[in-house]
């Protein structure tokens, strides 16, 4: 669920820090998920 939200937010132009702050997850989690896609 969170992984899908990360992907959608980053693809829609949200930054990594913004995405992490909004979803309440670590920036490294967002960064790792972004690199996979």
In the predicted model, is pLDDT for residue 37 greater than 70?
Answer: no
Residue with the bigger pLDDT between 37 and 8: it is: 8
pLDDT tens figures, 2-35: 888 988 888 898 889 999 999 999 999 999 988 8
Q: Is 10 within 8 Å of 16 (Cβ atoms)?
A: yes
Q: What is the pLDDT of residue 3?
A: 87
Q: What is d(CA 21, CA 37) in angstroms, rounded to the nearest whole number? A: 20
């Amino acid at each position: 669920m969170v992984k899908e939200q990360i992907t959608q937010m980053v693809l829609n132009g949200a930054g990594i820090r913004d995405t992490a702050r909004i979803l309440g997850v670590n920036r490294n989690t967002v960064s790792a998920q972004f690199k996979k896609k």
